[in-house]
């Protein structure tokens, strides 16, 4: 039976950084990364949101480390220098302008190179089937293309985005009664935005809604223009009323997302200026904003977040406005207090009641409003790297992640170029 020191479930932004951090310290063959898709990157690649952020705030960089280095290297390989205004956030421009657009294919290929160089055992096209206590760690049942098999791990890290591993292990999770909408990304081409008659399109859209041919949230905020058409279909529509935390919900949101795009396509093809419309690329998965969060040893509240609270066991920063999309075509938006940068404590990465267990990414322990800011890709990268470092120490010190030496944890993170809050 295969045995590992650390097993990471999910190779999105959080899992990728967690696995790389752990493998770079522990060495070849000691870290296993399990991913249900055939590519890493999660939302950045499969979800079509290839513009991670935000890494800078208040005149300085607040998130660096493995994730940032991947973003930087992707831009270099693509021949695209980084924007020169990143340090200006939040005093100038709207926050989406501080996301950094990258080539998702280059990003994923680089990540594969780095994972192999670190000696990570990568298992794509593999899902977690079960997890239970075993010896001093966990016995994890994996489902590959040829069937089920067990592997052992001293410490596991849940980076599934939906707290699936935590739930399987019997940990307590928070399930949203009504989730923020998802978004089905595409790349719409074949029209000239500058020549479109938006008043006519909007009138026709309203009539089509009355006839039941299209829905208001198919174009995101109920109006055409700078939502769907300006972005060419990128992160612009809303798929409402579905919690995609499990396979049933994920199936529903994928089918609903494609149905939404089909309604949009049929409507637009009838409008003047869209005779040559094509949806050239459609993301392989619907982008999901929230499903579940863990109940951790510590919970980050919205008050903690917007006040820039510095926890005494902080492991990374986060910076993004409160960004809650609701089902009534509204956006709940609140900025962090000027000049302050929120932090994430180690306890928010540790599920209550579970031994040798960590979690990272959008599922970290937080209330709903705080989570609407913490869920973004840069923060997922930072929490993933922190979880990977904590897992390393839990193995080396033979202790629970909550008991690791914080000075040693910060030392590992700093050695691997992460930015650690000053306590």
Domain end residue (candidates: 282, 302, 329): 282
If asked whether residues 194 and 172 sit together in one domain, one would say no
Greater model confidence, 237 or 4 = 4
Shared domain for 224 and 319, answered yes or no, is no
Instruction: Tell me, yes or no, whether 49 and 161 share the same domain.
Output: yes
Same structural domain for residues 314 and 367?
A: yes
Residues 199, 173 within the same domain: no
* pLDDT value, residue 128: 98
Inform me whether the pLDDT recorded for 311 exceeds 80: yes
Q: For the domain that residue 70 is a member of, what is the CATH number?
A: 3.50.50.60
Whether residue 402 sits in one domain with residue 319: yes
Query: Do the domain assignments include residue 141?
Result: yes
**Last-in-domain residue among 282, 299, 327:** 282
Please, which residues have CB within 8 angstroms of residue 75's CB and are 6 or more apart in sequence?
A: 81, 82, 100, 102
Q: What is the pLDDT of residue 329?
A: 55
Last residue of a domain, one of 264, 282, 300: 282
* 232-282 tens-digit pLDDT: 998 889 999 999 999 999 999 999 999 999 999 999 999 999 999 999 888
Domain assignment present for 420: no
Question: How many structural domains are present in the chain?
Answer: 2
In a shared domain, residues 95 and 70: yes
Q: Are residues 169 and 234 in the same domain?
A: no
pLDDT digits (tens, 9 = 90+) for 330-353: 667 778 888 899 999 999 999 999
Are 216 and 162 contained in the same domain?
A: no
Same domain, 149 and 259: no
pLDDT of residue 84: 86
Do both 273 and 295 map to the same domain? Answer: no
- Full-prediction pTM beyond 0.75? yes
pLDDT tens for residues 113-131? 999 999 999 999 999 999 9
Q: Which structural domain range is residue 307 located in? A: 2-177+290-415
List the one residue out of 124, 17, 41 whose CA is nearest residue 391: 17
């Amino acid at each position: 039976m295969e045995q590992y020191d650390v097993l990471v479930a999910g190779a999105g932004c959080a899992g990728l950084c967690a696995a790389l951090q752990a493998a770079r310290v522990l060495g070849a063959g000691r870290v296993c990364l399990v991913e249900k898709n055939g590519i890493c990157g999660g939302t950045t690649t499969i979800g079509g949101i290839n513009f991670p952020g935000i890494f800078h705030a208040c005149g300085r960089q607040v998130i660096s480390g493995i994730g940032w280095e991947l973003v930087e290297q992707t831009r270099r390989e693509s021949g695209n220098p980084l924007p020169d205004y990143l340090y200006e956030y939040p005093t100038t421009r709207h926050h989406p302008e501080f996301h950094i657009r990258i080539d998702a294919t280059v990003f994923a290929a680089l990540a594969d190179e780095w994972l192999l160089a670190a000696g990570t055992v990568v298992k794509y096209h593999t899902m977690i089937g079960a997890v239970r206590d075993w010896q001093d760690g966990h016995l994890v049942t994996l489902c590959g293309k040829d069937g089920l098999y067990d592997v052992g791990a001293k410490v596991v890290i849940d980076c599934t985005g939906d707290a699936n591993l935590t739930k399987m292990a019997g940990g307590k999770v928070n399930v949203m009664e009504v989730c923020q909408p998802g978004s089905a990304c595409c790349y719409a081409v074949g029209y000239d935005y500058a020549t479109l008659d938006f008043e006519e399109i909007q009138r026709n859209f309203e009539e089509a809604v009355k006839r039941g041919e299209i829905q208001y949230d198919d174009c995101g905020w109920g109006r055409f223009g700078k939502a769907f058409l300006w972005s060419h279909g990128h992160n612009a529509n809303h798929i409402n009323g579905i919690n995609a935390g499990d396979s049933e919900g994920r199936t529903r949101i994928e089918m609903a997302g494609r149905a939404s795009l089909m309604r949009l396509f049929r409507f637009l093809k009838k409008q003047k200026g869209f005779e040559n419309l094509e949806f050239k690329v459609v993301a392989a998965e619907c982008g999901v904003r929230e499903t579940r969060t863990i109940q951790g040893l510590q919970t980050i509240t919205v008050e903690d977040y917007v006040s820039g609270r510095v926890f005494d066991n902080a492991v990374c920063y986060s910076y993004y406005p409160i960004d809650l999309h609701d089902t009534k075509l509204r956006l709940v938006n609140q900025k962090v207090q000027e000049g302050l940068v929120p932090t994430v404590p180690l306890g928010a990465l540790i599920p209550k009641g579970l031994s040798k267990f960590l979690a990272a990414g959008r599922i970290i322990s937080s209330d709903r409003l705080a989570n609407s800011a913490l869920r973004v890709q840069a923060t997922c990268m930072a929490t993933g790297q922190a979880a990977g470092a904590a897992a390393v120490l839990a193995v080396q010190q033979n202790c629970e992640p909550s008991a690791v030496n914080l000075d040693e944890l910060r030392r590992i993170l700093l050695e691997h170029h992460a930015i650690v809050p000053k306590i």
